[in-house]
Chain A
Amino acid sequence: MNPPGSLGGLEEKEEEDLSTPILGPSIYSDNPQERIQARRLRIAARLEARRREALGEYLDGKKESEEDQSKSSKQKEESRLKLAKLLLCGTELVTNIQVATDIREIHRRVEEEEIKRQRLEKLENEVKTSQDKFDEITAKWEEGRQKRIPQDLWDVLSTQQVHCAALIEDKNKLISELQQELKTKDDQYVKDLKKQSDDICLLLERMEEQVKNVMKTFRQELSYIEKAFEIERQELLTSNKKKWERALQAHNAKELEYLMNRIKKVEDYEKQLNKQRIWDWEEYNMIKIKLEQDVQILEQQLQQMKATYQLNQEKLEYNFQVLKKRDEESTVIKSQQKRKINRLHDTLNNLRSKYAKQIKQFQEENQSLTSDYKRLVMQFKELQKAMRHFALIDDKQFREIWLMNEEEAKDLISRAFDVDRIIHTHHLGLPWMAPDFWFLRNVGPISQQQQKSATQILEEVLMQTEEEGTEEAASEAESYLDLPKQISAKTTRKILMLLCDESGFLIESKLLSLLLPLEKNECYLLKLDAIFSALGIESEDDLYKLVNFFLRYRVYHSPSSQEQTSLMSALEPGEKRDLEEQKEESLGEGEAEEKEHPSSPKLIHPNDVLKILEAFVMGLKKPRDSRTPVKLKHVRDDSKDSEYWEALTTVIPDTTQNLWDALYTALEKYHLILTQRAKLLIENNSLEQQNTELQMLLQQYLESKINSELQVPPTQVFRVPTK
């Protein structure tokens, strides 16, 4: 701090310096401990209250805290407010001086400005007037120069002097005035200094007073607060003491009660203990006696046990001896057995080696046999091949010979028929009917006609059905010939189409792609071919079996297909046979059967096709296995051959032959006559020729020139026949 009473110009700074400590903390540091204590308490209380509020007892806690605040907190709050007010007022009081100085300074400045302005005005006026006067004087100097008379000049000069003196007087007056002002200002300055020092003193006084005041009030408030706390503490103490005393009394009473109870209990227990002791004693004695008895008994038992023990020991020793002997024996046996085992091992090894040798032998044998077998199989296969080859050749030859013979026979027959027809028509004048026999149409060996492959039939069927639209009736008859079964071609075709559509999975995808560009029928044909090869259908019979199977299946299953499938699968193999037999039987009565089954394979649902196929394949398997080897041999039955050939010989019946014989004789006669007639005719002809020659000669004569020279021409004599 700067010492007071410094220069006036620095005064305001001083004031600030002095006033700041009041606001600063240094003034508070006089008695910090108490204040810290009080504030700490207050903060703690406040924080406690806040925490309680925060913990949820918001409203209750507030009320409670308000109640709690009753004395100490209220006192604290009051003190705080009072102290704050005091501080504020004190600060205001102290700063009032500064403010007052400020406003005085402002007033001073305003006044100063006013005075300055006035002074300046005055000075200006003065300058103006003095200038005027000076001008006047200078003008008079001119005037004075013109004066020639010394007295006038003197007058002028004296007046000039007077004027100058007046001017100087004015100036001096002004100067003195200003100096006066300056002096007053100096006085003022001194006064101001004094005033300011007074102010500073006042300020200091006030500050000190304030400090004292604040300290006093702080102490007072602190004592109040302490008192409040003391009172509260006292109250708390008394209340707690009361509580404590009450509790203590209750405690004492209880303690007494407990003590009494305890004494009673102790007595009881003592009695009980005594009783117990007596009882125990008695019991103890009893038990002792009993136990002694027991001991005796046990000793007896012990003796017995000892005896038995000795006995047992002896027994066991004997047993041990026996066992030892046995053990020795067993060791001997063991060694024997071991030797035996060794021997057996040797034999086993021998046997093993023998066995290995034998295995080798047998393997070699086996190999040689297998090679033999293979060779034989090869031979057999070659043989078979040769046989097949020969069979084929035989077949061919047979066929060729057959065909040749047949052709010959047919030529003969046709000639016979021609002859017969000529005879009938020309000679007998009867209408001739060409005899219609089945064997006439036959070409090639008879038995081969029936065994067509499935594909051929397929082709036929398809081709036939194609033409069906135009000539149904004819085809019906024809198909009947080809398919002497109970199924119409149409039905077959439909079934096959269905099969083809439904079982496309059996066809190879490569084939399918190849089939795309082909015609519809061809396509079907190839597809079916593939399907049949997959299903194992090779012959016509198989095909018809299949178709038949389809139809039957439908018949069986149309009412309740589900049941029937199971039934079918159950009695498959037997049923199959039946079916085949039925088929054989139904060969003759095909038409009738077909009528029974209204041929509408549309009734077979496409979804059933697969089931049917499955059932069929299952059924087909067995018969096929047995059939395949038979098929290879394929013996041709020549029972019908002789019949056929016989039939061929008897193509012209006996009646006709008789007729022919009679006719022959008659014709012979007729021929004779005719030959006679022919001779006659030839005679006739020669005669006529002679005639014509003669006529020609005549003509020549007549027309000769000699005749004209003759008096009488011969022509005139006779009438010449003109053509």
Chain B
Amino acid sequence: MWSRRQGRLRPVVCGVEELRRRRREREAVLRKARREQQLVSKRLLRDDAPEEAGEGCVSAILGETEVQQLLRQAQRGTEEKRERALVSLRRGLQHPETQQTFIQLEGSMRTLVGLLTSNQAQLQLEAARCLHELSHSEQSTVAEACLPATSYLLTYLSSHSSDFIELCLYTLGNLIVESEAVRRQLLPQGIVPALAACIQSPHVAVLEALGFALSQLLQAKEAPEKIIPSILASTLPQHMLQLLQPGPKLNPGVAVEFAWCLHYIICSQVSNSLLIVHGALSTLGLLLLDMAEAVQRTEDTGLELLACPVLRCVSNLLTEAEMETVGGQMQLRDERVVAALFILLQFFFQKQPSLLPEGLWLLNNLTANSPSFCTSLLSLDLIEPLLQLLPVSNVVSVMVLTVLCNVAEKGPAYCQRLWPGPLLPALLQTLLFSDTEVVGQSLELLHLLFLYQPEAVQVFLQQSGLQALEKHHEEAQLQDRVYALQQTALQG
């Protein structure tokens, strides 16, 4: 996947600064969309051969007469001539103006569908490419004009030409996010069984496209009620998990798509016990180990694209009530998971700090109810690395302190391993923060430390702990706890 992507990216024609600016802009747009719960993205597969670009002419916008003419030419004559007409049409359809002209022309979609289902292979392909351009449009009228073609796109998912299937899948993926109206047509047309049949394809490109289309379907607002149940009832979950199993056959591009699919399913909380029964936890756990190994080997692999959804899946799965009752191998007990997680945390620290909270979320869920994992944190000497994350941000600090509380609350045997050591000095630092939540969590941890390791109190006093506490004695949210700690310290 990664090399394929690099082969298709535009060479840098503008400066790095410009690229950064564009990226920041795009990021801002995406953030806004996400906050409005309108985050959708389409994908465009465009295979223009180099010589077309070399001709120097950017494809022109086509007018109504030209579109009509090309459609006529596409229906009669030698296969070559017809194909060329469609190629010209396709290039014109790269422009929103041509797209509008096309959909407003009576019978145009009918003709295109006719060509899509014709008995001439190259015409089919070109017609599908035209359809794909239309599906990518940001204007709903254009995308919705493609609806007459969907039953055929689905039919072709069980054909055998992998390039064609890939194109159909990306087109479907684009149409899916267009509107609930589109999905209300695709679901009764059998998109779920069609995908379930198609996922058995051995072609990597097909699988990646399928993962993309499925992820689009799963992001729909109505997915938890209307889509996810039928997906869980199909054979898709088993196949998805198979495609996520680490090993020589694991393809990163495919895995990324299906990891996101799993995430959308799991965080919708429809029926996660089913996934656990299928071995999701052990598969994803092994995948975590695999990623931690990969991170050590290669430099910049874009691994965070895969790590993010996997971490989310495991974290959410760990909250399932079934965890208590389900048998040994279905649970996650292997302490290598903790080791892998820290290697990933280090990777995030260097490459993608915004993912640190997600990693720490997993650490919290691993340690909250598990004396064994808390013991691993201690025996593998991971407390100090954890403390190194404190300065990153307030959110990260709170989570680090929460994990430490998970350890400390288990009693004296655990606190003995937390002090003496770097913990107390770190806490004296966090008490100086102004963020209420950070300080609040520090107070909780101090309380546990004092309770189970009273010798720490003296040192706390010697290091001006009381003054640090005093800073917050007016803060409403902290007052009671500050006072209680001061009392404990003075009596101790």
Whether A and B are associated in the same complex: the answer reads no
